[in-house]
Structure 1
Amino acid sequence: MNAETIQRLIQQGLPDARVQVEGPDGVHFEATVVCAAFRGKLPLARHRLVYATLGERMGGEIHALALKTLTPEEAGA
């Protein structure tokens, strides 16, 4: 698994999202996801939306994913 694949999967699941993923070791990743779908949702619900785009890869191919989830307004966009 690599950062580009994770970014693509998240963007496929959340098409209006802006996604940036880093993970130089190929096991531990950090993602910033800016998406209008996060409006009115608590952090846990936002994270669940992102995890849903990755499916069973979470906990398998993707050992750890730190998330920062923002609405466009929170990101200043």
Structure 2
Amino acid sequence: MPMTAAALEAELRAAFPDAEIAIDDLAGDGDHYKARISSTAFSGLPRVRQHQLVYAALKGKVGGELHALALETSAPPPKG
């Protein structure tokens, strides 16, 4: 059963409560998404580690309920 965009965003928001999150359904089928996530949790981390945190937050759903997920992750710019 595919994962809805709302369910995907809820999972990500639970893991990264301060994040700005944008989800795009790339194929209109609920199986192929692009997520843009900006969170302080990513500060100082290399891109690979940022993506690992996202996959860990999704608890094995990528490759199952969620067939494909393209990621754009970043930390927000420092304030001041």
The TM-score, its normalising length taken from structure 2, stands at: 0.86
Unaligned runs of 5+ in 1: none
CA RMSD of aligned residues (A): 1.3
Amino acid at match of 2:51: H
Structure with max Cα Rg: 2
Please identify runs of 4+ aligned residues in structure 1 that moved more than 4 A: none
Counterpart-to-counterpart distance in 2, 1:14 and 1:52: 12
Counterpart-to-counterpart distance in 2, 1:33 and 1:63: 19
Match status 1:3 vs 2:8:
no
1:59: which partner in 2? 63
The TM-score, its normalising length taken from structure 1, stands at: 0.89
Secondary structure (helix, strand or coil) at the match of 1:40 reads coil
Residue identity (%)? 38
Q: Give 1 or 2: higher helix fraction.
A: 1
